[in-house]
Amino acid sequence: MDTKSFSVEKIQHIRDTVGGGKAISALSGGVDSSTCTVLAHRAIGDNLKSIFIDDGLMREGEPQEVQKIFAGLGIPVDIVDAQDEFFAALKGKFDPEEKRKAFRNTFYTVFGREVRKSDARFLVQGTIAADIIETKGGVKTQHNILEQIGIDPEAGYGFKVVEPIKDLFKHEVREVAAEVGLPESIHQRMPFPGPGLATRVVGEVTPERVAKVRKATTVVEQEIAALKPFQAFAVLLSDQGTGVVKGTRKFGDIVIVRSVESRDAMTAEPSRVPWEVLQKIAHRIVIEIPDVVRVAYEITPKPPATIEYI
Ligand code: XMP
């Protein structure tokens, strides 16, 4: 693929679509939304407002890190704190699809509000081909799919959606990201789902449960980074198991470690992580998150499992 002419064409397309008006970019710091943000910024400059929603479901330090990287690129990013709103929407929800829909609805309600506040009529977002295929195919309700499944964003939330990379797969997006000058920390960043850590908490998503999975995720990412997997993370199960802590039986949490190799996330194989690395991860997780008494490594490919847990 000719990434240079792709970028030139998309920049022109965004400029033509948004005209002299304003647009908001929904930036999460992942390679998809980062690429769209840079393309849109090149297209309309200061008429683009880039917003990072802090939904409380991000990894450790992520909002500030993303803001800093984009400041370095000359693109200011506003962080909108909507944590309470997301946790309120997720409260009492246990069903995976209900959780996904609650996330999506809150996500677009918050963006709708920001769009109206700033007089924008367009939301630029990083939907990619796999997102559309899997949502239309009924694999899951991906958070950023609206028009393709018959939801009119203008009627529902008050804006039109611009999706410059909706025909690309992940490896192609990475090439475009490098072409538009994004640093390696972004263009080679592990995919992280829109609904964030909510996809890695089985059962109810509460601030306390997210805090546990966030800590475990930091451990997994740190210990596994050198192996450069496609994706690696921790999952908190809703089941519990018995452990022994300081000679006393304790019914505690179970964390799953998942690491997969993939090209486009449509299929995936478990990574062959060395035993020593897994042992170190398990050791650190039970020490650093005392509620956890068991850690397991998952070896199911996709299909039949999906990569995320909800
Ligand atoms: P699954 O779990 O369906 O995930 O095998 C495939 C890829 O998509 C990511 N993923 C999402 N990304 N919004 C996103 O932006 C979502 O709702 C979502 N759900 C899953 C997942 O991390 C993997 O890379």
Task: Please say whether the beta carbons of 310 and 99 come within 8 A.
Answer: yes
Pocket test for ligand 1, best of 132, 205, 307 (most atoms within 8 A of CB): 307
The residues, any chain, with a CB within 8 Å of residue 42's CB and separated by 6 or more, are 7, 11, 180
Ligand 1 atom index nearest CA of 231: 24
Q: Is the dihedral of CA 64, 68, 73, 75 positive or negative?
A: positive
Task: Please say whether the beta carbons of 50 and 25 come within 8 A.
Answer: yes
The residues, any chain, with a CB within 8 Å of residue 194's CB and separated by 6 or more, are 28, 103, 107, 142, 143, 144
Ligand 1 atom index nearest CA of 103: 17
Q: b/e string for 161-191 if b means 16 or more Cβ within 10 A?
A: bbbbbbebbbebbbebbbbbebeeebbebbb
User: What is the separation of C-alpha 41 from the centre of its chain, rounded to a whole number of angstroms?
Assistant: 21
Query: What does the pLDDT profile of the chain (310 residues) look like in tens digits?
Result: 899 999 999 999 999 999 999 999 999 999 999 999 999 999 999 999 999 999 999 999 999 999 999 999 999 999 999 999 999 999 999 999 999 999 999 998 998 898 889 889 999 999 999 888 887 777 777 777 777 767 788 888 888 999 999 999 999 999 999 999 999 999 999 999 989 999 999 999 999 999 999 999 999 999 999 999 999 999 999 999 999 988 999 999 999 999 999 988 899 999 999 999 999 999 999 999 999 999 999 999 999 999 999 9
265 lines ligand 1 (CB under 6 A): yes
Task: Please say whether the beta carbons of 171 and 266 come within 8 A.
Answer: no
SS3 category, 85: helix
Ligand 1 atom index nearest CA of 230: 24
Global confidence as pTM: 0.91
User: What is the separation of C-alpha 197 from the centre of its chain, rounded to a whole number of angstroms?
Assistant: 8
Residue closest by Cα to atom 22 of ligand 1: 193
